[in-house]
A = this chain, B = another copy of it.
């Protein structure tokens, strides 16, 4: 009946049962190692053999449908918004969650608003949703997810997020750390790079706010400058840089900082003499730039801790609060 010869009927546990000459239940007992019912060694062997022979793999969806809970952990985040720093962290987190028996998955969909996003995530009925971008959980979005049976919502954010477990992580303190350093170094005209890439705007606004909160206490000015991560955009910015009258810039993160520093130098603008540059994330290549890049190092809570928290949140419904460490400025040649 199959129209497509390349796609034979998928193998189910019933097929295994048939081949082994037992009932489907017995197959389930063997494959899941159920202790409450004992199975003779010979039939166990027959079942295992049949499963291997057919290449049987259980159907995760059917299983969680029956069990009433899934082992999926969803991380909404565009891949490019995940910087180098965080990408290793994310990989490690995936491994940790694996060890706990969860399947971590990253989804990069772009949605018009928080509720449609939440609806899309809810369709997958994950056990947990982990958002690095805390404000994706509006109250309605959180409510929607809860009603869809999502056990745990974990948000990285400065302020506690209603209806979600929050990991304290304040982007404003990053901007503040950079601003304090620049002011201490005698700079007064501080530019702040606002990246135009998708998914970064929320973070950028918070980091800018951090700079502003510090500058407000001193005789200094803040100038946001838009910058897209593209050659054209950065050379344009470098050309009109002298007209901005700035002697310092906090560049959002090390990647933007490296980009901007290169373009400024190509225009004959000296770093740090004409302008001090500070990045964030303390990426590996930053110390090797010329001049070495000053940066704000941030410490995320360890992947193991986060995985544990997520696990407890799913099982018990609550978990102790997690903190990242305070951002620390690493002073190098660029400032």
Q: Which residue of B lies closest to A149 (CB)?
A: B10
- The reply to whether B230 and A258 contact each other, CB–CB distance below 8 Å, is no
Give A147 Cβ to nearest chain B Cβ, in Å: 5
- The reply to whether A123 and B58 contact each other, CB–CB distance below 8 Å, is yes
- The reply to whether A125 and B60 contact each other, CB–CB distance below 8 Å, is yes
Q: Which of B147, B149, B151, B285 contacts A262 (CB 8 A)?
A: B285
| Chain A residues proximal to chain B, CB less than 8 Å | 4, 6-8, 10-11, 54-55, 57-62, 64-65, 70, 78-80, 82, 84, 87-88, 90-91, 94-95, 98, 103-110, 119-120, 122-125, 143-144, 146-149, 151, 198, 229-231, 234, 255, 258-259, 262-263, 265-266, 284-285, 287-290, 317
Q: With A61-B65, A65-B65 in contact, do A108 and B119 touch (Cβ < 8 Å)?
A: no
Please provide the 7 A-B residue pairs with the shortest distance between their CB atoms, ordered closest to farther. A262-B288, A10-B149, A61-B61, A60-B123, A94-B108, A80-B87, A57-B122
- The reply to whether B10 and A148 contact each other, CB–CB distance below 8 Å, is yes
Q: Which of B11, B146, B317 contacts A147 (CB 8 A)?
A: B11
Q: Which of B70, B87, B98 contacts A61 (CB 8 A)?
A: B70
> A10-B147, A103-B120 provided; 19 other pairs, C-beta below 8 A?
A10-B148, A54-B147, A55-B147, A57-B148, A59-B125, A60-B124, A61-B62, A61-B70, A79-B79, A79-B106, A80-B91, A82-B87, A95-B108, A105-B105, A229-B284, A231-B287, A255-B285, A262-B289, A262-B290
Q: With A7-B146, A8-B147, A259-B285 in contact, do A79 and B91 touch (Cβ < 8 Å)?
A: yes
Q: Which residue of B lies closest to A229 (CB)?
A: B284
Complex A-B: 23 CB contacts under 8 Å: A7-B149, A7-B151, A8-B147, A10-B148, A10-B149, A11-B147, A57-B123, A57-B147, A58-B123, A59-B65, A60-B124, A61-B124, A61-B125, A78-B94, A79-B91, A80-B84, A94-B107, A95-B109, A105-B107, A106-B106, A231-B287, A234-B284, A262-B290
